[in-house]
Amino acid sequence: MPSLKGKNIIITGASGGIGAEIAKLCAARGANLVLLARSIDKLETLKKELQSKYAINVHAQQLDVADPEAVKRVFAEVLSDIRYVDILVNNAGFGIFDYAHEAKIDEIKTMFDVNVVGLMACTSMVLPAMKQRRSGHIINIASQAGKIATPKSSVYSATKHAVLGYTNSLRMEVADDNIYVTAVNPGPIATNFFEVADKQGTYVKNVKRFMLQPEYVAKQVVNRMMTRTREINLPRWMSPGSIFYSLFPRTFELFGKRVFNQK
């Protein structure tokens, strides 16, 4: 594993879940961190914890990635302080499970603003300097939902399909600039994501035994930082499933119908 000591790493959605776990692992390996999220209180608590344990620099700033002007302002402030970014982890995101005909337009727009447009906006703020330095790593937290669509997640799945399309195109664009671009596609993770996504608790109850732990997902991500890793698919057994789905979608949907209807 490449050393992360002294690397400058920005993590969005760092106030909890895999974002916070990624921050802890990076700090343990000597990286300097910029923690971004809407909940500044949680960020400050995490900042104090990390700085008390490790001899690193930690910045914590409030940011709603759905606000393009706020993204410009906060990233400009951050870059003036740390000068350059080695790794950007686009982790901010959320989902709401609803049938397509029940999805509310304002929630649809917000999901796209956070999961897609916000991710693109943050990326655009660090890319010019990465290209100039000919070094950097963009890590986009997508989802298995971006590979295999399921009922009651049409909007969320659409946002993650968009993230994967953007990530794959970006990877080709910056290949000659020595910039790495990685998509992370986890299955369900045991975080507070489902407090919003699955208000009835049906999905969590049905898939609880298959849920990934955030510490495990974070470790897989951090272990591949500053490496030319195209995708991280978790759990690993889901990867063959997404390949089969792309080759034989009708068959996959027919025989997988019972499994898909877990929400």
Active-site residues: which are they? 156
Radius of gyration for the chain, computed over Cα atoms and rounded to the nearest angstrom: 18
Which residue, among 162, 142, 153, has the nearest Cα to 96 in the 3D structure? Answer: 153
- CB-neighbour burial class of residue 257 (10 A; exposed 0-12, middle 13-18, buried 19+): exposed
For residue 115, the SS3 value is helix
Backbone angles phi, psi at 189, to 5 degrees: -120, 140
For residue 219, the SS3 value is helix
Distance of CA 171 to the CA centre of its chain: 16
- List, in order, residues 6 or more apart from 92 with CB less than 8 Å away: 12, 13, 19, 36, 37, 65, 114, 118, 119
Rounded Cα gap, residues 125 and 129, in angstroms: 8
Asked if 153 contacts 97 with a C-beta cutoff of 8 angstroms, the reply is yes
H or E element in which residue 184 lies? strand 179-186
